């Protein structure tokens, strides 16, 4: 059995009632509070947790999940959502008052309580409320309650004197009905459903209740000891706790209509207060001052159905044949198992020398003890002490027919057990194992190497170096299996190693004691951690491990023997007899789920996992408090988990607290599997969803807003930067334009006096000639010219139509002055819009230059001036052409530098280009130098490329 006490966390010297809740937790009432056990850890509830009285008798789970706690003398409490509610927190609990510990009946979410002696009230607790039903029973105190039937609302009462029959009291109608039997004096009653067990001292009587008022006796059983308590487990099994220690258990149950056979006794050295069969039919015992004990269902069945007397010795060697199973103990004593009985053979009394090995063949058995070798005949029961006893035997192994190999610290010896003769094979070397693999060839193993040896020539050769073999067996032709002390199992042939099987391959441990062959593909390995069954499947292997959980008396296995479907295992706690078929039928999964007791998120602990589990950064540390109540694993429990939403990697932890630090905001699913004995896991995962809310600055909308704001701020900064540069540029342009405008105004101011000066010269010339009529006409045209000049000199641009009118006035005035020495023509192309604007007073200086330097000096022909406005699709071209003598490039420079009007016009062109970003090109050509026949004169072309903006409005 497994004992849980103070060392394992059960900090109590006296345990009372055991119970199990719907989640599978074991609850223990004790003199030091209430304990909850999940198979690995004990959780204690005491005064600091809210218990007003830490002497807890029992606790019971109700269907709503509450754990109702009964302490001594009215200190009732209940556990809900991880918190104990006592009578200070809930005043309803103070309504219940008893002079002695009450009797209880539980139904779904309610608990019914009444005093066993002379009950006056029935109290009903449900969902934190207490209702009271008065009981109108004889007030003389002669009655005591023995049981309660809720379905028929009957309270069964017995007379303390034992003279009256049992009465059934209806708590609703208050009517009493007499039953058919009395209850003896000082008799205790135990009930399960319709079965009643009456106990008095060493006797129990079993009854079954029929039609509510008739008790039918089933049988009576007497014990040799006084019975302290009777327990009826969930399978209707009967357990008797004895006053002087121990518990009796019957193979039969109350449901079987058979007579009770002799019971099996458990824990005869301990006084047992409570017995519980859990959901998996494992059995729990609470004791006085010795904690609690646990036995698995498989081991219990093995113990119950294959009872063997004196089967508790420490077995260190085992062998078997058709004559029986031979057991070697850790003393000078052996045993033979036959017909469910072990018969002891004592070699030397009180001598502590252990068995190293046993050989059996027919009626011959050779017991190899650490300091002696004994040959025993099972038929004659004669013992024979071998002379090789001085060798300190390490092993006794089969050899050729009628002989064995004796491995000792002095070498290897062949012994013929029929003729009692010896033959030395190898001397002065410590040998632990050997195996004949050919007619005259042996494998021989010492404490570090394996050799091949020829028994005829005595020559040996190193085969496997660095392996301490403890056992070697042959599986099939040229296939051997060896057990090593530290390197697991070695499969090898006559020439090489074929496969290594270690703990990493699935064995319980790599330290192997013995090998037992089941067939050429299957063998068993005995270890200090249990048994491993290894099956060879081609190049693959399958391993099944078995321990106490599967029914072994102990995990310390010295060896095993196989007979058909039966496995005999020699352990440190006796002989285990198991069915191989049943062992192999073990489930691949544990039919349990991990229980999440609570989840702590940040500073808040959640017990109700059905609610929405959320927290917010920075409270993003998560602690999962887990349990996996698989008691058969005996504490060898771990957990495999992953956090979906964070990663898809499964992690493994042996701790029941899974801690996740600083989870980023998000929605997650925690999945966890329980891992129990032999690596088996729960059949499905336990899942819980939770969420870490971000702070507002971690939300997507805030990040998006920050991106927008950042982009906006960056855009504003860039805009401001470029705006500043643009403003600086515009400021510079503004001042440049101002300067250009002032220059333009200054140029216009110079044009007006220049033009007036030229006109006055012409008038002066007419007056000098005394041509008064022409002078008057000239003055009239001059006055119109002055008005238009003054008008256009204030404007920057003027339409082509008005420019043509202005030029016509000017040319007419000059024709009048020069007595018709030239003719002129002004032509506007159809591609030109007359409303297009051009710089004002730009053409007049060039026309004036053509008259003055071109046509006025002609004597052989009449002068001619042509003015044309053309549009090529890209630029406006204004041409001023005369038929004068023309000018050379040298004369052109002189004329241009000497002509004040042209000079002013060129300045205006440069100013316009700067001020209005308008491209104006001036081209002057001498027609004679261009090689054009019959053409003389000068041609001036002004190209204006309109810049379409509101400042110039050129062309548009």
Given the structure tokens 């309610």, which residue do they identify?
110
User: Hey, what's the torsion of the CAs at 929, 930, 934, 939, to 10 degrees?
Assistant: -90
Concatenated DSSP letters of 844-860: HHHHHHHIIIIITT-SS
Average pLDDT estimate for 697-720: 84
Residue 335: which residues within 8 A CB-CB, separation 6 or more?
310, 313, 326, 327, 329, 342, 343, 344, 345
Q: What is the pLDDT of residue 947?
A: 46
Q: What is the pLDDT of residue 952?
A: 43
* Phi and psi at residue 915, to the nearest 5°: -80, -40
Average pLDDT estimate for 236-244: 94
Q: What is the pLDDT of residue 196?
A: 96
Q: What is the pLDDT of residue 901?
A: 63
Taking only the tens place, the pLDDT of each residue in 55-104 is 999 999 999 999 999 998 789 999 998 899 999 999 999 999 898 889 99
CB contact at 8 A, 123 and 113: yes
Flag whether pLDDT at 948 surpasses 50.
no
Of the pLDDT bands very low, low, confident and very high (cuts 50, 70, 90), residue 898 is very low
Of the pLDDT bands very low, low, confident and very high (cuts 50, 70, 90), residue 741 is low
- b/e per residue, 453-464, with b = 16+ CB within 10 A? bebeeeeeeebb
Average pLDDT estimate for 884-900: 58
- Percentage helix, strand, coil for the chain under 3-state DSSP, each rounded to 5: 20, 45, 35
Taking only the tens place, the pLDDT of each residue in 625-657 is 999 999 988 888 999 999 998 888 999 999 999
Flag whether pLDDT at 845 surpasses 90.
no
User: Hey, what's the torsion of the CAs at 325, 329, 333, 335, to 10 degrees?
Assistant: -20
Closest CA to 286 of 326, 228, 337: 228
Taking only the tens place, the pLDDT of each residue in 150-184 is 999 999 999 888 889 999 999 999 999 999 999 98
CB contact at 8 A, 831 and 871: yes
Flag whether pLDDT at 279 surpasses 80.
yes
Mean pLDDT estimate for the chain: 88
Quote the percentage of the chain above a pLDDT of 70. Answer: 93
Taking only the tens place, the pLDDT of each residue in 37-50 is 999 999 999 999 99
Flag whether pLDDT at 896 surpasses 50.
no
Closest CA to 633 of 566, 560, 538, 548: 548
3-state secondary structure of 781: helix
| Selected residue with higher pLDDT from 736 and 804 | 804
For the ranges 522-536, 572-586, 768-782, the maximum mean pLDDT occurs at: 522-536
pTM, two decimals, is 0.67
Taking only the tens place, the pLDDT of each residue in 392-432 is 899 999 999 999 999 998 899 999 999 999 999 998 899 99
Of the pLDDT bands very low, low, confident and very high (cuts 50, 70, 90), residue 201 is confident
- b/e per residue, 226-254, with b = 16+ CB within 10 A? ebbbbbbbeeebbbbbbeebbbbbbbbeb
Concatenated DSSP letters of 38-60: -SS-EEEE-GGGT-S---EEEEE
Alpha helices, DSSP H only, in 240-340?
A: 297-305
Strands 479-484 and 469-476: antiparallel
How far apart are the C-alpha atoms of 594 and 686, rounded to whole Å? 6
Q: What is the pLDDT of residue 953?
A: 41
Taking only the tens place, the pLDDT of each residue in 605-615 is 888 888 888 88
- b/e per residue, 533-563, with b = 16+ CB within 10 A? bbebeeeebebbbbbbbbbbbbbbbbbbbbe
Worst-scoring range by mean pLDDT, 118-132, 318-332, 894-908?
Answer: 894-908
């Amino acid at each position: 059995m497994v004992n849980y006490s103070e060392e394992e966390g059960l900090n109590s010297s006296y345990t009372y009632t055991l119970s199990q809740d719907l989640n599978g937790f074991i609850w223990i009432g004790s003199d030091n509070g209430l304990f909850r056990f999940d198979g690995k850890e004990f959780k204690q509830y005491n005064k600091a947790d809210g218990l007003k009285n830490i002497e807890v008798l029992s606790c019971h789970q109700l269907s709503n999940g509450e754990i109702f706690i009964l302490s001594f003398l009215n200190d009732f409490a209940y556990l809900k959502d991880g918190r104990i509610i006592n009578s200070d927190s809930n005043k309803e609990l103070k309504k219940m008052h008893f002079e002695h510990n009450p009797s209880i009946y539980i139904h779904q979410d309610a608990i019914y309580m009444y005093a066993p002696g002379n009950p006056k009230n029935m109290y009903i607790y449900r969902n934190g409320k207490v209702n009271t039903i008065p009981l109108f029973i004889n007030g003389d105190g002669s009655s005591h309650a023995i049981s309660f039937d809720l379905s028929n609302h009957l309270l069964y009462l017995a007379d303390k004197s034992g003279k009256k029959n049992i009465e059934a009291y209806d708590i609703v109608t208050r009517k009493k009905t007499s039953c058919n039997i009395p209850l003896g004096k000082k008799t205790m009653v135990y009930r399960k459903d319709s079965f009643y067990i009456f106990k008095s001292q060493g006797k129990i009587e079993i009854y079954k209740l029929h039609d509510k008022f008739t008790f039918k006796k089933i049988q009576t059983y007497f014990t040799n000891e006084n019975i302290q308590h009777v327990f009826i487990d969930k399978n209707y099994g009967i357990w008797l706790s004895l006053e002087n220690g121990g518990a009796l258990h019957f193979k039969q149950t109350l449901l079987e209509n058979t007579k009770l056979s002799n019971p099996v006794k458990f824990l005869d050295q301990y006084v047992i207060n409570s017995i519980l069969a859990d959901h998996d039919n494992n059995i729990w015992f609470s004791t006085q001052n010795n904690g609690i004990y646990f036995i698995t269902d498989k081991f219990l069945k093995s113990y119950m159905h294959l009872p063997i007397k004196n089967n508790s010795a420490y077995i260190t060697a085992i062998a078997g044949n058709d004559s029986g199973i031979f057991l070697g103990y850790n003393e000078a004593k052996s045993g033979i198992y036959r017909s469910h009985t072990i018969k002891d053979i004592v070699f030397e009394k009180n001598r502590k020398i252990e068995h190293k090995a046993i050989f059996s063949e027919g009626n011959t058995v050779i017991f190899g003890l650490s300091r002696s070798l004994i040959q025993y005949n099972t038929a004659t029961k004669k013992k024979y002490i071998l002379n090789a006893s001085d060798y300190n035997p390490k092993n006794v192994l089969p050899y050729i027919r009628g002989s064995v190999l004796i491995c000792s610290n002095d070498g290897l010896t062949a012994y013929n057990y029929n003729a009692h003769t010896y033959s030395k094979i190898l001397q002065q070397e410590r040998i632990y194992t050997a195996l004949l693999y050919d007619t005259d060839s042996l494998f021989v193993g010492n404490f570090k190497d394996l050799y091949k040896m020829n028994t005829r020539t005595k020559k040996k050769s190193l085969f496997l170096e660095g392996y301490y073999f403890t056992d070697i067996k042959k599986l099939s032709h040229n296939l051997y299996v060896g057990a090593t002390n530290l390197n697991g199992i070695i499969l090898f042939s006559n020439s090489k190693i074929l496969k290594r099987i270690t703990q990493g391959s699935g064995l319980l441990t790599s330290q192997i004691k013995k090998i037992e062959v089941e067939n050429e593909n299957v063998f068993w390995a005995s270890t200090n951690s249990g048994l491993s069954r290894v099956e060879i499947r081609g190049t693959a292997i399958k391993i099944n491990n078995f321990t106490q959980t599967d029914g072994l008396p102990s995990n310390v296995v010295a060896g095993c023997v196989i007979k058909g479907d039966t496995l005999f295992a020699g352990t440190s706690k006796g002989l285990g007899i198991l069915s191989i078929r049943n062992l192999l039928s073990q489930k691949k999964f544990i039919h349990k789920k991990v229980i999440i007791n609570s989840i702590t998120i940040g500073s808040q602990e959640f017990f109700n996992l059905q609610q929405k589990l959320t927290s917010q950064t920075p409270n993003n540390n998560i602690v999962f408090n887990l349990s996996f109540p698989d008691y058969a694993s005996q504490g060898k429990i771990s957990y495999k988990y992953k956090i979906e939403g964070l990663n898809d990697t499964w992690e493994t932890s042996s701790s029941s607290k899974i801690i996740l630090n600083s989870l980023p905001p998000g929605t997650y699913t925690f999945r966890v599997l329980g891992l129990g004995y032999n690596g088996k896991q729960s059949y499905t995962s336990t899942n819980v969803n939770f969420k870490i809310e971000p702070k507002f600055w971690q939300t997507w909308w805030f990040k998006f807003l920050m991106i927008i704001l950042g982009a906006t701020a960056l855009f504003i900064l860039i805009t401001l930067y470029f705006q500043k540069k643009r403003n600086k540029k515009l400021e510079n342009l503004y001042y440049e334009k101002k300067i250009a405008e002032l220059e333009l105004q200054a140029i216009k101011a110079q044009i007006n006096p220049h033009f007036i000066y030229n006109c006055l010269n012409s008038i002066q010339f007419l007056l000098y000639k005394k041509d008064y009529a022409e002078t008057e006409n000239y003055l009239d045209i001059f006055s119109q010219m002055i008005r238009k000049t003054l008008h256009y000199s204030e404007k920057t641009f003027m339409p082509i139509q008005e420019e043509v009118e202005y030029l016509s006035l000017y040319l007419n005035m000059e024709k009048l002055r020069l007595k018709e020495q030239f003719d002129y023509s002004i032509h506007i192309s159809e591609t030109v819009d007359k409303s297009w604007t051009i710089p004002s007073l730009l053409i007049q200086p060039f026309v004036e230059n053509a008259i003055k330097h071109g046509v006025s000096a002609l004597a052989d022909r009449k002068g001619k001036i042509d003015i044309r406005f053309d549009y090529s699709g890209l630029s406006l071209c204004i041409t001023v052409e005369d038929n004068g003598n023309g000018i050379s490039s040298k004369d052109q420079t002189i004329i241009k530098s000497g002509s004040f009007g042209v000079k002013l016009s060129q300045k205006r062109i440069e100013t316009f280009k700067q001020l209005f970003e308008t491209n104006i090109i001036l081209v002057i050509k001498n027609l004679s130098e261009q090689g054009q026949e019959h053409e003389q004169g000068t041609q001036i072309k002004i190209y204006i490329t309109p810049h379409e903006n509101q400042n110039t409005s050129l062309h548009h």
